Each structure stands twice: as C-alpha cells, then as structure tokens.
Amino acid sequence: MPRETALRVASALKDGGVRGVVISGGEPTLLSYLAELAAALHRPLGDRPSPQVVLSTNGLAPLRTMERVLPSLSWIALPLESADAAEHSALRTGVAPHREKMLTLLGEVRKNHPYVQVKLGTVVTRLNVGGAPDVLSLIDDACLPDVWKVYQMSETNYGSDNRDWLALGDEEFEDVVHRCEAAARERGVKLRVYRNRTRTGSYFFIDPDCEVVVIDEDGERRIGNFFARLADADPPLSHQVTGDRNVENFTGTYPMTRDTHPDA
C-alpha cells in the first residue's frame, strides 16, 4: 500500500473511533514507512484516547528497525512454532536462524520497552505436534509473553492447498491444546485457543489494494474499496461487521487491561 494511502487509512480509522488496529501482512516490517504509520495510529486525536496498535511480525527485522517502531506499539505479536529446532525449521523455512532472532527481539522488548505487551503465536500442524506445547520452555521467566495463542491451522488460502498433509483433526488438536494448557498454567501465562469449528469472531481487514475484506462464519468476502465504502453512508461501513463480536475478537487476544505506555 502506498505511504499516502496508508496514512489516509490510519486517519479514517481514528476518525471513526476504532479502538484497536493490527498491522499485519505479509511482513509489515518491510514497509519503509512502518514507523510513521505506527506513530500516526498511536497519536491521540483530540481528547480521544489513541487506539491500541499491534504489530504482527515474524521477528526477523533488524533491531534498529524495531527500535523506530516499538515506541508507538501497545502490543507486538511474535511467532514461535516449536521447542524442537527441526520442527520449527520445517515451518519457518528459508529464514534461519528464525527462532534465535525472534527470541532476541523478545528479550529486547522486555528489557527496553516494558510498556509493549507480547502475544506469542503457535500454529499447530502435523509437523510440530511434538514440540508446540513446549515453546515456553525456551523463554526465561523475565521474558514470558502476556498472552500465548495456539491456533488450529486454518483451512483457507495456503492452508486449504496443504490441508491433506498439514492439518490436524479436531480431536488431535485438542490433545495438543491440553498439553499447552498444562504448560501455560505451570508458567503463569494466559492461554488463548483458536479453533476452526468455533470461529465466530468478526474480522475486518483492509488489504494493500485498499479493498475491504470481512471474515466471519459465513466465510471471506471482499466488499469494495475502503474509501468508496466510507463515502457510501447507506449502510455504514461499520455495519459490515458485528461490532461486539469484532471487539471481542480483538480484546480476547489483546486485552485492554493495562496502559503503561509513557505517552498515555
């Protein structure tokens, strides 16, 4: 998305009173203007509180890049797929040493940006059922995440193409969840679980081409250009998602329970 368009989107979201924004991808740290975009979202608008800004990243950006972005974040979402090095590498191919870089970034956040909360994400597939429940064993007590979210592999897009050899059945997934629950309880980490069969949240995405994508139990649908839909007030764009479910989907993963940001 061009820089000017992204900043217009940020302004429109804030004008609309949006409470939380996830900058995701693809890999958003490849954006040359990421720090400017995060700062624009984070900056208060009049007497309104600024939205919570979440960056979902693979953790591979140089620390100097992250140092420019972290001051504007409320949350950072990082992936860790397995405590077993071979399992992790099978899912994060071509980015070695991914796990070590991700853990280094996690340590940097905890040491120098304590106001940024951390969500750790683990996607469970047939390739990492052994080591997925043990990912917290790689993390020191001082660097543990605020939330650990375990995902059943979604059978859409890439997942649909590779479902037969990657996806777990519901019963197999629940066996992994049971082990993750025990690990999270032992380390005092809040666990969240994403199950395909109970996906009832309401998701609202703005794609790089500025098209709006809405996802709920009825599937994924593209509903037109963001700015064109904003200008068409009947029905309002906000009516394309179920508001309380959209909020619950966000706050269920990124709780709005702590605000220790120095600029707050």
Is 117:74 a contact under the CB 8 Å cutoff?
Answer: yes
Q: What number of CA atoms fall less than 13 Å from residue 154's CA on the CB side?
A: 14
Q: What's the Rg (C-alpha) of the chain?
A: 18
Same domain, 23 and 107: no
CA 125 to chain centre: 18
Q: What number of CA atoms fall less than 13 Å from residue 186's CA on the CB side?
A: 11
What span, in angstroms and rounded, lies between the C-alpha atoms of 247 and 237? Answer: 15
Same domain, 14 and 134: no
CA 29 to chain centre: 13
Decide if 23 is inside a domain: yes
Per-residue pLDDT of the chain (264 residues; tens, 9 = 90+): 999 999 999 999 999 889 999 999 889 999 999 999 999 999 988 888 889 999 999 999 989 999 999 999 999 999 999 999 999 988 887 766 888 889 999 999 999 999 999 999 999 999 999 999 999 999 999 999 999 999 998 766 656 677 788 888 889 999 999 999 999 999 999 999 988 776 666 889 999 999 999 887 777 889 999 999 999 877 788 788 777 888 888 988 999 755 555 554
Same domain, 84 and 28: no
Same domain, 94 and 51: no
Same domain, 18 and 128: no
Decide if 218 is inside a domain: no
Same domain, 78 and 191: yes
Same domain, 51 and 95: no
Tell me the pairing of strands 117-124 and 147-152: parallel
Per-residue pLDDT at 47: 82
Q: What is the CATH number of the domain that holds 179?
A: 3.20.20.70
What span, in angstroms and rounded, lies between the C-alpha atoms of 142 and 153? Answer: 29
- Domain containing 173 equals 74-202
The reply to whether omega before 51 is within 30° of 0 (cis) is: no
- Nearest Cα to Cα of residue 124 among 133, 116, 115: 133
Decide if 210 is inside a domain: no
Tell me the pairing of strands 211-216 and 219-225: antiparallel
DSSP state letter for 54: E
- Residue partners of 221: CB distance under 8 A and separation at least 6: 213, 214, 215
Same domain, 47 and 150: no
What span, in angstroms and rounded, lies between the C-alpha atoms of 189 and 191? Answer: 6
Rounded to 5 degrees, φ, ψ at 242 are -85, 110
What span, in angstroms and rounded, lies between the C-alpha atoms of 17 and 247? Answer: 12
Strand order across the beta sheet in which 211-216 lies: 203-206, 211-216, 219-225
Q: What number of CA atoms fall less than 13 Å from residue 49's CA on the CB side?
A: 10
Same domain, 45 and 148: no
Domain count, the chain: 2
What span, in angstroms and rounded, lies between the C-alpha atoms of 83 and 77? Answer: 18
